[in-house]
């Protein structure tokens, strides 16, 4: 079996890919542009991709293609209708990054709550060394205990975040965009969860219901000094509106995703009047070494199952 991995760099250089080599003849590309995909998969039986777009035209050039393994959960980069029409199986891996994303959510929340970048600089710039006091309380921080932690998207990841936040003593509420309000926490309308949350984290997928969900019409509902976290997908928060709101008043945001990734160098979020109000990481919440290992194991299992079922 000819196996082609189109974007190895997304898995990290520290991940051992030898399990894939045991399944067939493996060809690895560090990254692949959309216009390169058709040529690179032409002789492939199995294709592995994270974000490379594989459309119908690319599939039609690959006469031997039987299986597309998405090295992620989301499959929006694959033309699923065309794959079905051409008899090509598409498999993803679900649940591999739950703990990784939940941990990253807490890491960003705690950093913003306790102003850790600021205090780190106070020490390293020697500012603290020149002070007469043993401490510096110029930027007060609050405890999570007793605070309202709202969650938009209470799926597997959202529930893991809720469990951790509860361990810190937070009160949990949530908003279901789909209307599936059956979780063991208080359900609130979007307006209510925005206006009552001290910390609000987003763990929802991007779809027509969630696109531009948080924008200039409802951002003003957030409490002064509230913390807004998006660990779901870029596009759920209108980033231009968020930049304006962060410039307008004391509000904090922690983002791991953006509408376009990588984010443009001239994006307003990278040129805030108060950059300390934003903590931004480059889509890494999913990427702990343990999560990436689970992801690879899931891909290997998908291929083995496919072959064992006689789809070779």
CATH number of the domain residue 170 falls in: 3.40.50.720
* pLDDT at position 312 over 70: no
Based on the domain organization, do 24 and 65 belong to the same domain? yes
pLDDT at 43 over 90: yes
Asked if the model's pLDDT at residue 112 lies above 70, the reply is yes
Domain holding 123, by residue range, is 98-280
Residues 36 and 84 occupy one common structural domain: yes
Angle between helices 98-113 and 116-124 (to 10 degrees): 60
Cα torsion through 231, 235, 238, 243, rounded to 10: 60
Domain count, the chain: 2
Do 117 and 123 meet the contact criterion of CB atoms below 8 Å apart? Answer: no
The neighbouring-strand residues paired with 200 are 150, 228
Mean predicted lDDT score pLDDT of the chain: 96
Contact 66, 312 (CB under 8 A): yes
The H-assigned helical ranges of 114-189 are 116-124, 156-167
Same domain, 23 and 58: yes
Task: Give the full edge-to-edge strand order of the sheet including 199-202.
Answer: 186-187, 171-175, 148-152, 199-202, 227-230, 252-255, 278-280
Catalytic residue among 159, 171, 233, 277: 233
Cβ within 8 Å of residue 130, ≥6 positions away: none
Question: Are both 106 and 181 inside the same structural domain?
Answer: yes
233 a catalytic residue: yes
Catalytic site residue from 143, 261, 290, 297: 261
Establish whether the linkage from the previous residue to 93 is cis, with ω within 30° of 0. no
Q: What is the mean pLDDT of residues 147-151?
A: 98
E strands, the chain, in order = 2-5, 25-28, 46-49, 67-70, 89-91, 148-152, 171-175, 186-187, 199-202, 227-230, 252-255, 278-280
pLDDT (average), residues 2-13 = 97
Catalytic residue among 8, 159, 283, 292: 283
116 plus 70 within the same structural domain: no
pTM for the structure as a whole? 0.94
207, 236 Cβ separation under 8 angstroms: no
Q: Is the pLDDT reported for residue 93 higher than 80?
A: yes
Question: With contact defined as beta carbons under 8 Å apart, do 199 and 231 qualify?
Answer: no
Residues 9 and 71 in one domain: yes
Average pLDDT value for residue range 167-192 = 92
- Let me know whether 195 and 54 are in one domain: no
Confidence of residue 182 (pLDDT cuts 50, 70, 90): confident
Q: Do residue 117 and residue 67 come from a single domain?
A: no
Is the per-residue pLDDT at 46 higher than 80?
Answer: yes
Residues 221 and 276 in one domain: yes
- How high is the pLDDT of residue 167? 98
**Rounded distance between C-alpha atoms, residue 67 and residue 300, angstroms:** 12
Q: Which H/E stretch holds residue 301?
A: helix 289-308
Predicted local confidence at residue 178, as pLDDT: 85
- Residue in 290, 262, 277 with CA at minimum distance from that of residue 95: 290
Q: Same domain, yes or no, for 222 and 102?
A: yes
Q: What angle do CA 188, 225, 135 make, to 5 degrees?
A: 135
How many CB atoms within 10 Å of residue 153?
24
Same domain, 121 and 249: yes
* Distance between CA atoms of residues 279 and 252, nearest Å: 8
Query: How many Å apart are CA 93 and CA 168, to the nearest integer?
Result: 30
Residue 183 has pLDDT above 90, yes or no: no
Same domain, yes or no, for 111 and 171? yes
Count of C-beta atoms within a 10 Å radius of residue 185: 18
């Amino acid at each position: 079996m000819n196996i082609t991995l189109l974007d190895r760099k997304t898995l990290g250089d520290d991940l051992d890919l030898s399990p894939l080599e045991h399944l067939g003849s493996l060809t690895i590309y560090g990254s692949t542009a959309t216009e390169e995909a058709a040529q690179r998969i032409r002789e492939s039986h199995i294709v592995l991709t994270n974000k490379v777009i594989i459309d119908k035209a690319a599939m039609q050039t690959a006469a031997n293609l039987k299986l597309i393994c998405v090295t992620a959960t989301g499959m929006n980069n694959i033309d699923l209708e065309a794959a079905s029409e051409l008899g090509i199986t598409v498999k993803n891996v679900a649940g591999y990054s739950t703990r990784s994303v939940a941990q990253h959510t807490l890491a960003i929340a705690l950093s913003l709550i306790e102003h850790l970048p600021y205090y780190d600089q106070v020490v390293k710039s020697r500012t603290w060394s020149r002070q007469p006091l043993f401490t510096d309380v110029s930027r007060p921080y609050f405890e999570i205990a007793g605070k309202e932690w709202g969650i938009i998207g209470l799926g597997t990841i959202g529930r893991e975040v809720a469990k951790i936040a509860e361990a810190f003593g937070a009160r949990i509420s949530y908003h279901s965009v789909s209307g599936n309000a059956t979780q063991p926490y208080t359900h609130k309308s979007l307006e209510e969860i925005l206006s009552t949350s001290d910390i609000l984290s987003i763990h929802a997928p991007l779809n027509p219901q969630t696109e531009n969900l948080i924008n200039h019409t409802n951002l003003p509902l957030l409490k002064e000094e509230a913390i807004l976290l998006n660990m779901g997908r870029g596009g759920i928060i209108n980033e231009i509106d968020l930049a304006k709101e962060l410039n307008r008043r004391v509000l904090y945001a922690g983002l791991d995703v953006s509408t376009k990734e990588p984010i443009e160098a001239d994006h307003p979020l990278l040129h805030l009047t108060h950059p300390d109000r934003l903590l931004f990481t480059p889509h890494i919440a999913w990427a702990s070494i343990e999560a990436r290992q689970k992801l690879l194991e899931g891909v290997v299992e998908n291929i083995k199952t496919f072959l064992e079922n006689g789809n070779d």
